[in-house]
Amino acid sequence: MTQPFHEQKNNQVSEQTNEQSSNKTNEQMNRQFGEGEQQTLIIAHRGSKGTHPENTMVAFLEALEVGAEGIELDVHLSKDGIPVVIHDETLERTTNGKGWVKDYTVEELKCFEASAEFGAEHKEATIPTLEETLEWLASTQLLLNIELKNGLLPYPTMEEKIVELVNKYSLEERIIFSSFNHYSLVKLHQLQPEIETAILFMEGLYEPWNYAKSIGAKGLHCYLPVAQPLLLQRAREEGTPVRPFTVNEEAHIRALIQGGSSAIITDFPEKALQIRRSLA
């Protein structure tokens, strides 16, 4: 099998990783995505999705390089039951493959280029496994939001497989699970209650902090238009972190940082970090 891209790049990024890691504190390593923090954290959506092929090591390395505090990624299961990092149930949008992710083994998925939206510039990008990503992440101090993409396809035992991998790399303190499948969040909480879960939602729920607590979740990952000032204020009073997605426009980034959002999930982490620095 072809050597994983993140291993090919290790010599180029090890100094960068060590330098950035040395600038992080133990406090950051143990915190939970902006919970109780004064500063709005910048979470790189699918890596640096706006500038690099989404959900690939290329995008994750870029997020680390520009200084994002965390990464958000999506997980499906391959035909042979391995958690793989890709957003869609199908391959066409982000790779040169066709068909359903679930119908290919990991070895087969690795044969596809995952740079469809960026062309030849990043032909080296492939679909990473979650384990490859966690192994790399363990050498950094990045936070990680794992979204389980099991709303359309149930993927039996998906939760157990992902929790096992997180435990293998001792990353429990730096992980948050999210999903639109709230039954899955309940199962994850039952499997490992010390790992934070967060509800994903698109509509204006009534007192979502109370609903989240009722299923064992601690965070609110809401669609950007739902992140109104009153929601931010009430959630803060309830001690519930709010991390809206997907926050790309300068005006929205500024408003959420100034409004005290715990974190924002953005396709453009470098841009968001520049804006945050300008507001300091």
C-alpha distances out from residue 15 to 9, 19, 52, Å: 11, 6, 21
Which of the following is catalytic: 45, 52, 122, 252?
Answer: 45
**Side-chain half-sphere exposure of 206, counting CA atoms within 13 A:** 0
C-alpha triplet 55, 45, 152: angle, nearest 5°: 70
Which of the following is catalytic: 6, 52, 76, 87?
Answer: 87
State yes or no: is 45 an active-site residue: yes
Whether 90 and 111 have beta carbons less than 8 Å apart is answered as: no
In residues, how long is the chain?
A: 280
State yes or no: is 182 an active-site residue: no
Question: Catalytic residue numbers?
Answer: 45, 87
